[in-house]
Amino acid sequence: MPVRHMGNKKGSATLVALIVIFVMATLASALYLRLTNRMKLLRQREHSLAAFNLAESAISVGLSGLAQAPESYRGQEETRLGTGTFAVSCKRTETGNRTWELTGTGSAGSEGSAARNRAVRVTVKLEKMTGEQVAGPSWRPVIISWQEIDAQ
């Protein structure tokens, strides 16, 4: 039986194999980049939502503090809750009308990667509770306005 020489067929098969490997590596790299970008976006959204919920929690804490001691309550310094922090400030807007402005801020995520800050401002009027309703604080906060504001 005569021996057949492959000639250039061996080189052609190697070239095709290299091209296939290159295409597969390029596709794998593109998929990896897309997935890492998607994960980063999802992490940012998660931190943004957590920061918003923390800002809302700050408002709840502020409403409670205001109802218990309206003349002396000024807010709460930065407080850790879960994986983030919140703070609330309280200032009187109209001395005669028992109207206050609460600003709640929330921060979630680490400083270096995808940290998010959100803030909510609420205007509240206190109504005096009378009669059998009074079991704890004698003031009931009524929200007049609510808005999300730029966090600083």
Residue range 41-54, pLDDT digits in tens: 998 899 999 999 99
- As for how many domains the chain has, the answer is 1
Q: Token pair 């005569």 is at which residue?
A: 2
pLDDT tens sequence across 69-128: 888 899 999 999 888 999 999 998 876 678 899 999 999 987 666 678 999 999 999 888
**Is residue 110 in some structural domain?**
yes
**Is residue 4 in some structural domain?**
no
pTM listed for this prediction: 0.75
Token readout for 37 is 């970008």
**Is residue 88 in some structural domain?**
yes
Host domain of residue 51 = 9-149
- pLDDT for position 67: 86
**Is residue 1 in some structural domain?**
no
**Is residue 68 in some structural domain?**
yes
Burial class of residue 9 (count of CB atoms within 10 Å of its CB; 0-12, 13-18, 19+): exposed
